[in-house]
């Protein structure tokens, strides 16, 4: 943590705002936009506005979509095509000063200060198959995946086409402009997007008022209620406060019944490890039953925070991970529980954010709870590494720039370097994600879901000297809540994390990156190309 704007010390969470009290504001639920028609078409604006982050704070200026942060919840049905016009009504001066950029990217003369491009995280979209068309500005054009270099400026519009062929799942949209993602998301540019289908409805999950989104975001908050962002892109932005659905430390009154929560970690860099804890005596609250992950339902519900099992794990959520969970408050009438987080990155000066929100369980239900808590869902066939056509290694490391400053990279390459990953359309590959660094990096890839195969400890020092991987222990299975389809995976230190992916359904240019936004911005991001078989060898890539 750096910068003069930091007002908190890790032990003084209650002090800084004078009379600042937690859990006095109700949890806001973002507006819903249910797509109408097939294809449906909507316009969403990006704007600057003021809002009350907390009862006792003055109005805060932030950015968002359609005048709120997080933006509206966009809801579609599987196979319902949606065209979105993302119109920037942002001012031409950024909410935050440009951080000291390691590549100098943000200080390049002539660059507009405000650049934005929206990406739907988890989307399956068609991208251009020619390099020149992926890289033009998006103004008035279709840029469905939100190509990072094809940003727009205030007054301009980006068009995206989402065919939504995926099964029901929790997606989210956020800014993705090259070098600007961290600053833009910290300002508030993020929102939820849900795909529904008949299978989801057949599960009879808690719905309506009993299905609640929880978008967790760490924020940088000054004592006067203004927001701040990192002054140096070389520092991960952990912030000093947390909002849930855009409110600081809100409360939610619930009935003693089952709820479905769609939890999304929309933070720039912070990972959470979550559990319901009674603030009076620190006793454990209800278990968290995780039924779905980034890319739809699990096969087997994962039980987390089981109060009857002292070894039960917390719900761990790295940036951009989603958890679709059921919590049963039936036996907890009259009690209150904090959504408690005990995750701190070792080695980083991260300010603890132990209590994110409070639920107050009432004593009666407004109607009988007839919803279900499924322990088993549709089978998910485990992909077989023997079917992989190619195995690739993606190395997470630092490189020294000519001026001596370190730069985080994937395979020692920056965003600008020629494309090196060109999987063939329809083929399966294994990617070995090799972390040589002391911190966890959440890996994310566009267009495709993957399955996590395993994580295996290896000798990092030997690898850095010789380039050879010597495994030092047995492969560890993914956690039970990682056994479904994912699009983000924690690439933990001192291990090789293996994932398996099948590339499709479209050829074209996409990206993969670390989802710590300051890492993504300073070049832990690479383009890749899904190549249609017929064009291999014919169409020479421009990079
Ligand atoms: Cu959440 Cu490349 O994105
Ligand atoms: Cu994405
Ligand atoms: Cu990273």
Q: Is the CB of 119 under 6 A from ligand 1?
A: yes
Atom of ligand 1 nearest to the CA of 122: 1
- Which ligand is the nearest neighbour of the Cα of 517? 3
Cβ(260)–Cβ(127) below 8 Å = no
Nearest to 41 by CA among 91, 90, 94, 82: 82
Between CA 240 and CA 3 the distance in angstroms is 12
Q: Is the CB of 513 under 6 A from ligand 1?
A: yes
pTM of the shown model: 0.94
Q: Is the CB of 441 under 6 A from ligand 1?
A: no
Per-residue confidence (pLDDT) for residue 399, from 0 to 100: 85
Between CA 449 and CA 292 the distance in angstroms is 14
DSSP per-residue codes, 240-264: SEEEETTEES-EEEE-SSEEEEEEE
Residues with CB under 5 A from ligand 2 (ion): 121, 446
Between CA 301 and CA 474 the distance in angstroms is 26
Between CA 131 and CA 434 the distance in angstroms is 29
* Burial environment of residue 91 by CB neighbours within 10 A (0 to 12, 13 to 18, 19 or more): middle
111 falls in which pLDDT band (50, 70, 90)?
confident
The position carrying tokens 């949890």 is 27
Could you say which DSSP state residue 308 is in?
T
What order of strands is seen across the sheet that includes strand 190-196? 32-34, 73-77, 190-196, 169-175, 118-121
Choose between 250 and 6: higher pLDDT: 250
- pLDDT exceeds cutoff 70 at 16: no
- pLDDT exceeds cutoff 70 at 178: yes
Q: Is the CB of 248 under 6 A from ligand 1?
A: no
What does DSSP say about strands 450-457 and 390-400: parallel, antiparallel, or unpaired? unpaired
The residue whose C-alpha atom lies closest to atom 1 belonging to ligand 1 is 121
- Which ligand is the nearest neighbour of the Cα of 447? 2
Atom of ligand 1 nearest to the CA of 513: 2
Least confident of 138-152, 202-216, 358-372, 526-540: 526-540
- pLDDT exceeds cutoff 60 at 541: no
Q: Is the CB of 322 under 6 A from ligand 1?
A: no
Cβ(183)–Cβ(220) below 8 Å = no
| Run of H or E residues at 343 | none
> What is the phi-psi region of residue 18: left when phi exceeds 0, alpha when psi lies from -120 to 50, beta otherwise?
left
Q: What average pLDDT score do residues 406-424 get?
A: 94
Q: What is the pLDDT of residues 298-341, one digit of tens each?
A: 999 999 999 999 899 999 999 999 999 999 999 999 999 999 99
- Which ligand is the nearest neighbour of the Cα of 124? 2
What order of strands is seen across the sheet that includes strand 241-244? 247-248, 241-244, 211-219, 258-265, 322-328, 288-293, 296-304
134 falls in which pLDDT band (50, 70, 90)?
confident
User: Could you give the domains of the chain?
Assistant: 31-202 (2.60.40.420), 208-361 (2.60.40.420), 385-535 (2.60.40.420)
Q: Is the CB of 257 under 6 A from ligand 1?
A: no
Q: What is the pLDDT of residues 435-493, one digit of tens each?
A: 999 999 999 999 999 999 999 999 999 999 999 999 999 999 999 999 999 999 999 99
Q: What is the pLDDT of residues 29-64, one digit of tens each?
A: 999 999 999 999 999 999 999 999 999 999 999 999
291-70-528 Cα angle (round to 5): 70
Distance from Cα 515 to the centre of ligand 1, integer Å = 7
535 falls in which pLDDT band (50, 70, 90)?
low
């Amino acid at each position: 943590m750096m910068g003069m704007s930091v007002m908190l010390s890790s032990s003084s969470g209650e002090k800084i705002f004078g009379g600042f009290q937690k859990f006095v504001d109700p949890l806001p639920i973002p507006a819903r936009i249910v797509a109408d028609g097939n294809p449906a078409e909507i316009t969403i604006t990006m704007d600057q506005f003021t809002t009350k982050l907390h009862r006792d704070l003055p109005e805060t200026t932030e950015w968002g979509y359609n005048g709120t942060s997080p933006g509206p919840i966009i809801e579609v049905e599987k196979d319902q095509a949606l065209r979105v016009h993302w119109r920037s009504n942002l001012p031409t001066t950024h909410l935050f000063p440009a951080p000291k950029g390691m590549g100098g990217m943000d200080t390049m003369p002539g660059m507009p200060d405000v650049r934005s491009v929206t990406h739907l995280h988890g989307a399956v979209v068609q991208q251009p198959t020619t390099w020149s068309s992926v890289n033009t500005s998006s103004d008035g054009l279709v840029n469905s995946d939100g190509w990072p270099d094809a940003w727009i400026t205030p007054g301009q519009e980006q068009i995206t086409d989402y065919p939504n062929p995926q099964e029901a799942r929790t997606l989210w949209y956020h800014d993705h402009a090259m070098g600007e993602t961290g600053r833009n998301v910290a300002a508030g540019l993020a929102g939820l997007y849900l795909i529904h289908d008949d299978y989801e409805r057949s599960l009879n999950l808690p719905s309506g008022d009993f299905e609640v989104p929880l978008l967790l975001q760490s924020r940088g908050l000054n004592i006067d209620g203004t927001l701040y962002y990192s002054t140096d892109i070389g520092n991960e932005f952990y912030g000093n406060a947390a909002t849930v659905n855009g409110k600081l430390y809100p409360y939610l009154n619930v009935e003693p019944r089952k709820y479905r929560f769609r939890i999304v970690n929309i933070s720039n860099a912070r990972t959470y490890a979550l559990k319901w804890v009674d603030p009076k005596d620190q006793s454990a609250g209800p278990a968290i039953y995780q039924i779905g992950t980034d890319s739809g339902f699990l096969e087997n519900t994962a039980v987390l925070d089981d109060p009857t099992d002292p070894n039960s794990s917390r719900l761990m959520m790295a940036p951009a991970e989603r958890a679709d969970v059921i919590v049963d408050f039936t036996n907890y009438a009259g009690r209150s529980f904090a959504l408690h987080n005990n995750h701190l990155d070792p080695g980083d000066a991260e300010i603890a954010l132990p209590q994110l929100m409070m639920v107050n369980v009432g004593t009666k239900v407004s109607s009988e709870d007839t919803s279900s808590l499924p322990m088993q869902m549709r089978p998910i066939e485990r992909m077989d590494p023997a079917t992989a056509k190619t195995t690739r290694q993606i190395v997470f490391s630092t490189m020294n720039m000519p001026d001596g400053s370190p730069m985080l990279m994937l395979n020692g390459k920056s965003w600008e370097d020629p494309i090196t990953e060109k999987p063939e359309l329809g083929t399966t590959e294994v990617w070995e994600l090799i972390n040589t660094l002391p911190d966890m990096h959440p890996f994310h890839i566009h267009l495709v879901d993957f399955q996590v195969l395993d994580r295996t400890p290896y000798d990092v020092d030997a690898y850095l000297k010789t380039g050879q991987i010597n495994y030092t222990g047995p492969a560890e299975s993914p956690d039970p809540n990682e056994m479904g389809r994912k699009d983000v995976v924690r690439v933990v230190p001192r291990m090789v994390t293996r994932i398996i992916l099948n590339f499709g359904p479209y050829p074209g240019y996409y990206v993969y990156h670390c989802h710590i936004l300051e890492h993504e911005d300073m070049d832990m991001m690479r383009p890749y190309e899904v190549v249609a078989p017929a064009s291999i060898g014919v169409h020479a890539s421009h990079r």
